[in-house]
Structure 1
């Protein structure tokens, strides 16, 4: 395993050494007159964030010469970025009044492409020294002589760059010189560059991209406070009601000086969860699958915690694709946890086919994501979009899974079976299963499962709005401290609600609590997905098969992970609760 890690580290170092990026850009320091590269990235409809294409897919003229490509990390490629040197001449601290980029003649096909792009509100993205610039291709203007709207193309780009000593701090792009689109017309694309000194430090140069009024609005703080009060209420509810009831039940079992008549009367009056002590630890159906999803959920919980902490400490939102890269790497190296939890749980419950459980644990969630990603990738390839993942990148992701994640799951499964796999049930399981009596509809496992996700969803409802808005509406999410608090609140609320649901189910003399506790917590993801449907139709202007597929595909991938995470947290909390309450009763 160490040799594999060293190999990956060596490859990363080699990639850095052979990178075509200039030294001045890599260390973000320039001398007067140094060349500053303007990288062109992508274009696409403004209302469809994932529908992006190569910048030169529009019929802009290509500058003469071989344009270099800048390949970022794994996360940048997965994010659909392809940076190409524009070959525009920009010198550090050298102003340019007006220079020509290129000239080209408008043919009928080019006019149609530009008009379609303008009608779809196409925007483009450039980068200078890892700082983004955005602009629109053109606009529709009202014609004074008719009711028709005229398509105009922006032909001049004003680039303003602010610098502090030898470092670039801010960049800005404005456009003018609108030109109408007419077949046979010759257009000249031009640019100008203006350098302005500033006192803003390099460490704060990304602050201009952060929307403080939006993310730090009072409603955001109120949502955190509201969720915190929900935690206090639920924990108090569990403590006062459940613990009080259980204490009364324990008191009956603790009496040793009662006469025979009292004992017989208590036995006749005994009902609820105490009657099923001989069945409550009976191995559930699809034990290998349950162990796999619980192990994967435990891994995802740790993974999310680590990524949030790294984002807080390392400000990962600054780098292109840094969050995705961190997620993939952390997922690979936390795979030991999923194997350990899954292997131990499967062995404790009497499972015999541990290899089957290990394979399910290692492959279930990644292969579900791969299946969704494969469909989306096929759509992206059909549309010729940058969202299509290159074959080489897919090979890299598979290698990470096959040579890091899979071996760690295997190691975790072996360690879990040997260290925590011994059966330790407080009560012996009876040979013949006890019949489950019919109860009212609201005490059935399906209703308990469906209702269990309402309060956890309520605790993260507002945060989901900010997360969705940042991902689908061009806002940089940077308040990971809020996300950490919401994540902790979600875990606590999920555990409390699932414990309450499990207690009601056991009191209904239904001992099929394992899958019910999992689905009760996992149903939070169902409500998140329903909210995503509302968000799509009410809060966005997305349209088209491409963007709709990517929106609901990505959201489905997210909700699968959220459901597995919450389900595992709910099951583990309920498992501790069930073992705790049956530990103090006298089992036959």
Structure 2
């Protein structure tokens, strides 16, 4: 934990380090005629395995003479596996190059073997120019089956650049002149540059990377409409069925002038949720853990809403790693929410072990992600991939947690305990717990928990396809307005479904609703993870231990956060519902 003397300095330094690349550029993107335009090489790897990336010069390409400059990005760029190195290819603003030599590549046996393996695995590479990406493949397989040399290496790079006045608007890379790979052969690696003027404005230069047809297809709009109709149905179900039943129950309790026969009949017919009023507010088991996950889930809900709004306003898809950087910064700054919700909940239920509660709330989700990340990082280091997180970046992440996130979480716990921690249960808890009668299998907590996630998953099913495709198949996700609508729909559906499940459980005279309401909503993540397995085998061509471990590891982190978020939303919604229905009955 950081001391108070260094906290302010650490916070300032960290915020400058991690946020500046996301919201600003090292350059003003303005050029004069004949100004040098840097072409940065970034990474190379199998096209079907997006996370299996390596340093560009892991393949025996032409290396620039002397010490090549590096362009260091922010935290999100490093976590995204980017390492920009100056190619030292001579590109000048508005100056065409017909054909120039990069270097002469002498092929020996190890180089030929490396290039052949890369071509067989469909290796692609990524360059950057003025923060705009360029992509290309290392080579291709000769379509002539009778040829002895089926591995062809592209030897010429044709760079086309469009500009508007003094700013670069678009860059494109095409490759030509494939040559067979033969030991002892010399290949001239060449390039050409062609400049042309355009009237596209600088603010719209990223539009070419956005797949409007894919993301704004009719099926996307239909999914939003379908989810919206589900919201109307569920809210109608809660208001028309449950509230009508509750209103009838309230009417029975409100009658004071009934005759003896009516009262006896009402008492004999009394059953369900009314009978457990003396146990329904009994503190749940593992109260420390439940308060920690509910507090963390409340923070995740605020965090996701904040990141989506920032993405809508700031077009975060433009910057390399901007989304990751924003997520980390916002997570640290919203840690107060987790502490406040957890502390208030723990105090209202009579918790005494405050140290354990504060530490668990501050460290639960980060350390779970750290455990998964540690395993993935070990795999990346073994493979020598750019996906491996450098030690310095780990130190920065730990400082963010230790100097910003953890103190805010602990402070929130203290505030929550003192401001919203007073017990206010509508009914007094009885000393002796009421026995829970056996009910039909579909009214057991386990079945209610498993079934509770189906409808929330159904409301986000289509959006999951677009999110997965964006992350795993090179699509730039930019429709954050859709994501905001889906997030709001998810919250509403989760609350409604959890309330219905809680009501059924209480009617079965089972008062262990706290954990059931959490798992009922959190089970949405189980269905998302099952969908990810389907997506992996049906929608992608990923292969190999590296990519498989990263796919399911990243998906596990995502589903972990989604499950905690949905569980917290469901529990908080059910808590309000339970307090509301027991507020107007006569408790003994």
- Corresponding residue for residue 12 of structure 2: 9
Q: How many residues align?
A: 583
Alpha-carbon separation, structure 2, partners of 1:412 and 1:15: 24
- Corresponding residue for residue 143 of structure 1: 144
Alpha-carbon separation, structure 2, partners of 1:286 and 1:377: 32
* 1:267 paired to 2:267: yes
Task: Show CA shifts across 1:300-355 (max 9, x none).
Answer: 00000000000000000000000000000000000000000000000000111011
- Corresponding residue for residue 152 of structure 2: 152
Alpha-carbon separation, structure 2, partners of 1:213 and 1:46: 22
Deviation at 1:10, TM superposition (A): 4.6
- Corresponding residue for residue 227 of structure 1: 227
Deviation at 1:149, TM superposition (A): 6.8
List structure 1 runs of 4+ shifted beyond 6 angstroms.
14-17
* 1:389 paired to 2:389: yes
Any conservation in 1 of the 2:149–2:181 contact (CA below 8 Å)? no
Give the TM-score normalised by structure 1: 0.97
Distance change (3 Å), C-alpha of 1:142 and 1:284: same
Q: Equivalences for 1:242-257 in 2 at 5 Å?
A: 242-257=242-257
- Corresponding residue for residue 43 of structure 1: 44
Say what the alpha-carbon RMSD is for the aligned residues: 1.6
Q: Equivalences for 1:357-436 in 2 at 5 Å?
A: 357-436=357-436
Gaps of 5+ in 2: none
- Corresponding residue for residue 465 of structure 1: 465
Task: Show CA shifts across 1:249-270 (max 9, x none).
Answer: 0000000111233222211211
Distance change (3 Å), C-alpha of 1:152 and 1:501: same
Q: Equivalences for 1:437-476 in 2 at 5 Å?
A: 437-476=437-476
Task: Show CA shifts across 1:183-219 (max 9, x none).
Answer: 1111111100011000000000000000000000000
Q: For 1:134, what is the secondary structure of its paired residue?
A: strand
Any conservation in 2 of the 1:521–1:567 contact (CA below 8 Å)? yes
Q: For 1:65, what is the secondary structure of its paired residue?
A: coil
- Corresponding residue for residue 115 of structure 1: 116
Task: Show CA shifts across 1:342-397 (max 9, x none).
Answer: 00000000111011111111111100000000000000000000000000000000
- Corresponding residue for residue 100 of structure 2: 99
Alpha-carbon separation, structure 2, partners of 1:307 and 1:525: 20
Task: Show CA shifts across 1:473-496 (max 9, x none).
Answer: 000000000000000000000000
Q: For 1:175, what is the secondary structure of its paired residue?
A: strand
- Corresponding residue for residue 129 of structure 2: 128
Deviation at 1:142, TM superposition (A): 2.4
Any conservation in 2 of the 1:25–1:129 contact (CA below 8 Å)? no
Any conservation in 1 of the 2:48–2:541 contact (CA below 8 Å)? yes
Alpha-carbon separation, structure 1, partners of 2:357 and 2:64: 57
Alpha-carbon separation, structure 2, partners of 1:368 and 1:149: 50
Q: For 1:26, what is the secondary structure of its paired residue?
A: coil
Alpha-carbon separation, structure 1, partners of 2:25 and 2:346: 55
Any conservation in 1 of the 2:18–2:74 contact (CA below 8 Å)? no
Deviation at 1:4, TM superposition (A): 3.4
Alpha-carbon separation, structure 1, partners of 2:110 and 2:382: 21
Alpha-carbon separation, structure 2, partners of 1:277 and 1:549: 48
Alpha-carbon separation, structure 1, partners of 2:289 and 2:10: 34
Alpha-carbon separation, structure 1, partners of 2:284 and 2:365: 21
Give the TM-score normalised by structure 2: 0.97
Distance change (3 Å), C-alpha of 1:181 and 1:62: same
Any conservation in 1 of the 2:11–2:403 contact (CA below 8 Å)? no
- Corresponding residue for residue 280 of structure 1: 280
- Corresponding residue for residue 27 of structure 1: 28
Any conservation in 2 of the 1:111–1:183 contact (CA below 8 Å)? yes
Q: Equivalences for 1:186-201 in 2 at 5 Å?
A: 186-201=186-201
- Corresponding residue for residue 548 of structure 2: 548
Distance change (3 Å), C-alpha of 1:2 and 1:232: farther
Any conservation in 1 of the 2:158–2:193 contact (CA below 8 Å)? yes
